[in-house]
Amino acid sequence: MKLVTAIIKPFKLDDVREALAGIGVQGVTVTEVKGFGRQKGHTELYRGAEYVIDFLPKVKIEIAVSDALLEQTIDAITKAANTGKIGDGKVFVSSLEQVIRIRTGETGEEAI
C-alpha cells in the first residue's frame, strides 16, 4: 500500500478529483496549503503599494492506494493537474505500513 501526496494548483482540483474517480479511487483527503518552489512567489499591487507574496496558495491531496492502483493514480494526477507552466506541483509516494478502518476494524487493503 502507498500514500500518494500531490501538491497542485487549486483550480485543478476538480479535474484531478474526476480523473481519480474515473480510475476507481474512492477516498481522497484535500487540504488548502501555501508554499513555493521554483515559482518563488510573485509581486502584487494593492492600493498603490507593491508587495511580494512569497507563499502561493496550493492544494494538497492525500490518497491511500493499493500497489496495483499506484501507477494509474500517479498518471491520473499528473495528466489532470498539468498546465505546462511553472508551479504545476509535485507528486510524492510513501509506503504505508498499516491501514485500519476505525468503524469496522478492517486492516490492510480492505481498509482502503
pLDDT tens-digit readout, 54-104? 788 999 999 999 999 999 999 999 999 999 988 899 999 999 999 999 999
**What average pLDDT does range 29-48 have in this prediction?**
79
Contact in structure between 57 and 10 (CB atoms under 8 Å): yes
- Residue 11: pLDDT band with limits 50, 70, 90: very high
3-class DSSP state of 43: strand
What pLDDT is attached to residue 82? 96
CATH code where residue 62 lies: 3.30.70.120
Domain count, the chain: 1
Q: Domain of 71? A: 2-111
Closest CA to 96 of 67, 72, 76: 67
CB 30 within 8 A of CB 59: yes
42 band by pLDDT with thresholds 50, 70 and 90: low
Give the predicted TM-score (pTM) of the model.
Answer: 0.86
Query: Which cell numbers in the block locate residue 53?
Result: 507574496
> What CA–CA distance (Å, rounded) separates 20 from 99?
20
Q: Using 50, 70 and 90 to split pLDDT, how confident is the model at 1? A: very high
